[in-house]
C-alpha cells in the first residue's frame, strides 16, 4: 500500500503548523483512501512519548490509512552554500509520498554544489528538500507550481510574505537572492545570493 510522510517541527516541546500538516494528510486521503476516516494528527502526537526539552527535533510520521511509524531526532540544519540547476520531470503533488527516489536521483547530479535547484518546463520549482522564494529587491516570489506544496510555504502565503508567480530560469538574473525553507527551516534562516546558483 502507498505510504506518505510528514516531517513536523517540534520546538521546545511544541509542534509547529499541525493544522497545515493535517490539511496535507487530508489531501492524501482524498486521493488514495477516500472511504477511510482521516486520523487526528494533533491527538496522536499529544498522546505520543515526544521530547519535551528545549531544542529543535524533527518528528517523522509515516502513514497510509493509519500512522505506521513515528520517530523523533534532534535537528541540525545542513549547510547549503551553492545550488546546481537540474531539469526534472517529477510530478507536482499536494501530499508527500514516502518514496524519495526521484529526488535522490536529482540530488546525485549536484556535482560540487551542495544541493540542486529543480527546473520543470523552463520554470523553477524547488530544491531537493526545500521550497524556494526569490527576492527582486522589493518582494519575495515563490513558484506558482512547486513540486511539493510545503506547510511553511502555505503559511507564508497566508501571511502575505510571499507572492506566487511563474519564475522562468531565464529570469534568474532579475533576482538578487534565493531563500530556501521547509517545515524545519524557517523563512530567512537560509538565504543565498543568486550568483550561488550554477
62 and 41 in a common domain: yes
Contacts from 166-173 at CB under 8 Å and sequence distance 24+? 166/123, 167/123, 167/124, 167/134, 167/141, 167/143, 168/122, 168/123, 168/124, 169/85, 169/119, 169/122, 169/123, 169/124, 170/122, 172/124, 172/134, 172/197
Looking at the structure, do residues 8 and 68 belong to the same domain, yes or no?
yes
Residues 137-192: pLDDT tens digits?
Answer: 999 999 999 999 999 999 999 999 999 999 999 999 999 999 999 999 999 999 99
Q: Are residues 138 and 43 in the same domain?
A: no
Q: Assess whether 125 and 164 both reside in one domain.
A: yes
Q: Are 169 and 104 found together in one domain?
A: yes
Claim to verify: residue 115 and residue 158 sit in the same structural domain: yes
For 31-89, what is each residue's pLDDT tens digit?
999 999 999 999 999 999 999 999 999 999 999 999 999 999 999 999 999 999 999 99
CATH of residue 106's domain is: 3.20.10.10
**Structural domain harbouring 117:** 83-196
Same domain for 166 and 104?
Answer: yes
Give the chain's domain count. Answer: 2
Domain CATH for 62: 3.30.470.10
**Do residues 43 and 102 both lie within one domain?**
no
Domain boundary among 48, 74, 100: 74
Amino acid at each position: 500500500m502507498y505510504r506518505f510522510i510528514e516531517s513536523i517541527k517540534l520546538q521546545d516541546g511544541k509542534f509547529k503548523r499541525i493544522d497545515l500538516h493535517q490539511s496535507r494528510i487530508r489531501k492524501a486521503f482524498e486521493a488514495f483512501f477516500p472511504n477511510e476516516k482521516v486520523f487526528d494528527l494533533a491527538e496522536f502526537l499529544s498522546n505520543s512519548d515526544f521530547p519535551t526539552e528545549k531544542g529543535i527535533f524533527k518528528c517523522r510520521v509515516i502513514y497510509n490509512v493509519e500512522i505506521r511509524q513515528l520517530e523523533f531526532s534532534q535537528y541540525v540544519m545542513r549547510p547549503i552554500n551553492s545550488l546546481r540547476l537540474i531539469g526534472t520531470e517529477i510530478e507536482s503533488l499536494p501530499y508527500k509520498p514516502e518514496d524519495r527516489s526521484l529526488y535522490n536521483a536529482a540530488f546525485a547530479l549536484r556535482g560540487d554544489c551542495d544541493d540542486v535547484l529543480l527546473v520543470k518546463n523552463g520554470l523553477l520549482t524547488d530544491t531537493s528538500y526545500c521550497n524556494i522564494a526569490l527576492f527582486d529587491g522589493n518582494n519575495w516570489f515563490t513558484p506558482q507550481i512547486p513540486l511539493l506544496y510545503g506547510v511553511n510555504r502555505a503559511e507564508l502565503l497566508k501571511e502575505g510574505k510571499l507572492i506566487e508567480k511563474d519564475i522562468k530560469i531565464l529570469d534568474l538574473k532579475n533576482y538578487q537572492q534565493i531563500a530556501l525553507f521547509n517545515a524545519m527551516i524557517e523563512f530567512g534562516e537560509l538565504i543565498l545570493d543568486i550568483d550561488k546558483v550554477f
